[in-house]
């Protein structure tokens, strides 16, 4: 379903931010993805713009309605591609 696809986007976002943190030797234990992005931003691992875009995508995927359409999911996927962490 489109909703499950959106949850997969959220999982991909979480994996990407964890990998980025590992590249910068950041401990991600007990941190959510937004906290990780804030830490990366603080050390220069993410620009302010990328951190804000990442956080907006996380919030969007967390608040998704199960009746989301495939077109909406496609738009979120495009945003993910444009983020380019």
Alpha helices in the chain (DSSP H): 2-23, 33-43, 48-62, 70-83
Residue 19 and residue 69: Cα distance in Å, rounded? 29
Q: Above 90 in pLDDT, residue 85?
A: no
Residue 58 and residue 75: Cα distance in Å, rounded? 14
**pLDDT, tens only, 38-84:** 999 999 999 999 999 999 999 999 988 999 999 999 999 999 999 98
Residue 19 and residue 74: Cα distance in Å, rounded? 24
Both structure tokens of 78 = 């495009």
Residue 4 and residue 22: Cα distance in Å, rounded? 27
């Amino acid at each position: 379903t489109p909703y499950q696809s959106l949850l997969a986007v959220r999982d991909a976002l979480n994996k990407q931010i964890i990998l980025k943190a590992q590249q910068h030797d950041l401990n991600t234990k007990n941190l959510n993805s937004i906290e990780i992005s804030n830490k990366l931003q603080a050390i220069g691992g993410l620009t302010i713009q990328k951190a804000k875009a990442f956080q907006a995508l996380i919030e969007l995927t967390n608040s998704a309605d199960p009746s989301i359409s495939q077109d909406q999911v496609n738009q979120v996927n495009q945003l993910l591609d444009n983020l380019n962490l």
